[in-house]
């Protein structure tokens, strides 16, 4: 199975050292092999040599990063679903995108690799440029410096053509660009609101919730193919196969994988649309994106005129993962500022003849290059999106009763004890909640460090904290977006916990009504009993009426 990835050129250091990096919206760290790397593969460019750069600066250990064993330098580690990994130290240096870009050189944090495993070790590309959401992302760093607006665009060339472009910063979207909402609080990945599929114009009978499982529908430019939940994959495969019954099904190019391939379609890509049906992705707002055959097929490498499905079942994972194949010859705009993603079908190899790119704040486009590698492991449906989420996440639609989090506060001035009540007010302000919602549970002093456990409760007017609010709060904490007064120094999120609202039993939910019912019954019963006793006593006191002088039975006196 041949896999493709798209790279861009990045220059690091002074004087600049050149690298070819895979463009990856599913990663948040940019990294290249370091000259001191103990376990790095042979790539297309020489390793980065920090000693040759006049502007290189190691990132010193601080509370907001993971540190090496000596406690001197910040480190990073990333593990991917296909069992590859990258780890090393974090550093800061000048980066640029070459003469093709109008973006002036900027200082940025990147990873200097010490260990590579799996595909990262064997690939031709030098490393990865991370465009995901996160403080180490190249996009986030450039936005924080106000160098670009909070947006970027990618355009991948078509089958057998390759090439394309990357724009860091905003562009004027074409009038017929199709947009869908992207929720930044759901996960660090770029998700879209996919609700249905159509094959040859006919809707597939799929529950829309299928595309909302686990991480939802995620766009990942670093993944080659597309992976669907089982229900959606089976329905799509069966529907397409009904439309191409005239073709002969054959084995795939790699006997180790059960690829679905067909012969007899011809070598001309322009003729594929006459044989294979179009597939429409329908979004929640009713708009749709049409996929041509090159957006879900890859060419068979051993049989001329044969093609294979580039969409696979994502194991038992309910996540929908859309890789680069789906957006071939499609300009994709990641409008992070407005929480939406746009799609525009175009010839990406000739994009800039059709698209007007404003001078500011968007820099000129950077060219992309396609690389093919014979690598079967890419065909294994990932268990999770490439960069992985935090080990804990909020499942489904849960009513949250309380959020607790441990925070390590490093005080600059040890002579001044921090006012934790004031800190609570600062946290409430930064998280945009009411002051009464943030409560300190306990605090422990260790030298310059205060470890404080906080609790965040629902607002007075609400019974619970919603999922979206909780994710927004946790992302702000995890990404260290809280701005503390300088006298308090910095903070680090140690641990967090979400406690769902307890589901009450029928008796707990109706306890008050049951108690009132019992009370009313007792009162009525006692009242009835009292009335009956009073009536009976009066009857005994009055007895039956007898005329004066009447004969009554003789009653014997009881002996004393």
Catalytic residues: 24, 220
CA-CA distance, 186 to 189, in Å (whole number)? 8
- The neighbour count for residue 530, using CB atoms within 10 Å, is 10
Candidates 53, 48, 46; CA nearest to 31 is 48
Candidates 470, 325, 326; CA nearest to 390 is 470
Candidates 481, 460, 155; CA nearest to 333 is 155
For the chain, the 3-state helix, strand and coil shares in percent, each to the nearest 5, are 20, 35, 45
What is the C-alpha end-to-end distance of the chain, expressed in Å?
Answer: 117
Candidates 383, 233, 385; CA nearest to 313 is 233
- The neighbour count for residue 134, using CB atoms within 10 Å, is 18
Burial 363-391 (b: 16+ CB within 10 A, else e): bbbbbbbbbeeebeebbebbebbbbeeee
Does residue 99 sit in helix, strand or coil? coil
Burial 465-497 (b: 16+ CB within 10 A, else e): bebebbbebbbbbebbebebeeebbbbbbeebe
Contacts of 509 (CB under 8 A, 6+ apart): none
| Radius of gyration (C-alpha) of the chain in whole angstroms | 34
Peptide bond into 482 cis (omega under 30): no
Reported in sequence order, the residue ranges of 471-560 that DSSP labels E, i.e. its strands, are 490-500
- The neighbour count for residue 512, using CB atoms within 10 Å, is 8
CA-CA distance, 381 to 18, in Å (whole number)? 33
**CA 289 to each of CA 272, 297, 325, 342, 496: distance values in angstroms, whole numbers, following the listed order:** 18, 17, 14, 10, 39
Tokens of 132: 């995901």
Alpha helices in 158-278 (DSSP H): 230-243
Candidates 221, 102, 73, 235; CA nearest to 156 is 221
């Amino acid at each position: 199975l041949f896999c493709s990835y798209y790279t861009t050129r990045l220059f690091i250091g002074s004087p600049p050292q050149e690298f070819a990096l895979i463009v990856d919206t599913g990663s948040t760290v940019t990294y290249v092999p370091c000259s001191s790397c103990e376990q790095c593969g042979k790539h297309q460019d020489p390793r980065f040599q920090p000693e040759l750069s006049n502007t290189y600066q190691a990132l010193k250990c601080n509370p907001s990063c993971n540190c090496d064993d000596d406690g001197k330098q910040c480190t990073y580690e990333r593990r991917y679903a296909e069992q590859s990994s990258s780890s090393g130290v974090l550093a800061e240096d000048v980066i640029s995108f070459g003469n093709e870009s109008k973006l002036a050189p900027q200082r940025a944090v990147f990873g200097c690799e010490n260990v590579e495993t799996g595909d990262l070790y064997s690939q031709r590309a030098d490393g990865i440029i991370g465009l995901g959401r996160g403080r180490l992302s190249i996009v986030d760093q450039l936005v924080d410096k106000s160098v670009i607006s909070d947006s970027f665009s990618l355009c991948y060339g078509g089958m057998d053509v390759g090439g394309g472009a990357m724009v860091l910063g905003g562009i004027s979207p074409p009038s017929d660009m199709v947009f869908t909402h992207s929720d930044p609080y759901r996960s660090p990945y770029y998700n879209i609101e996919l609700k249905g599929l159509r094959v040859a114009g006919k809707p597939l009978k799929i529950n829309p919730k299928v595309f909302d499982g686990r991480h939802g529908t995620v766009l990942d430019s670093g993944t080659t193919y597309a992976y669907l939940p089982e229900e959606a994959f089976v329905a799509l495969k069966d529907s397409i196969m009904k439309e191409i019954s005239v073709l002969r099904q054959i084995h795939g190019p790699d006997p180790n994988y059960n690829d679905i391939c067909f012969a007899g379609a011809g070598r001309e890509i322009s003729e594929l649309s006459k044989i294979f049906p179009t597939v429409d992705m329908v979004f929640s707002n009713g708009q749709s994106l049409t996929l041509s055959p090159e957006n879900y097929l890859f060419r068979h490498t051993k049989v001329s005129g044969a093609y294979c499905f580039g969409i696979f079942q994502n194991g038992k994972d309910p996540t929908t993962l859309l890789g680069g194949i789906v957006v071939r010859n499609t300009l994709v705009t990641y409008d992070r500022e407005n929480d939406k993603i746009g799609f525009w079908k175009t010839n990406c190899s000739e994009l800039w003849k059709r698209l007007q790119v404003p001078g500011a704040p968007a820099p000129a486009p950077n060219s992309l290059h396609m690389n093919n590698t014979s690598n079967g492991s890419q065909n294994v449906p990932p268990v999770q999106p490439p960069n992985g989420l935090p080990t804990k996440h909020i499942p489904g639609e849960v009513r949250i009763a309380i959020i607790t989090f441990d925070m390590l506060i490093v005080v600059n001035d040890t002579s001044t004890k921090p006012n934790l009540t004031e800190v609570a007010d600062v946290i409430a302000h930064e998280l945009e909640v009411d002051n009464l919602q943030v409560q300190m549970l306990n605090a422990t002093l260790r030298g310059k460090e205060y470890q404080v456990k906080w609790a965040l409760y629902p607002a007075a007017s609400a019974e619970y904290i919603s999922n979206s609010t909780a994710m927004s709060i946790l992302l702000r904490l995890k990404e260290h977006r809280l701005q503390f007064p300088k006298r308090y120094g910095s903070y680090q999120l140690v641990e967090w916990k979400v406690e769902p609202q307890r589901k009450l039993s029928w008796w707990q939910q109706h306890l008050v009504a049951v108690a009132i019912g019992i009370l009313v019954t007792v009162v009525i019963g006692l009242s009835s009993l009292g009335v009956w006793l009073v009536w009976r006593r009066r009857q005994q006191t009055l007895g039956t009426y007898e005329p004066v002088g009447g004969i009554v039975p003789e009653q014997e006196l009881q002996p004393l």
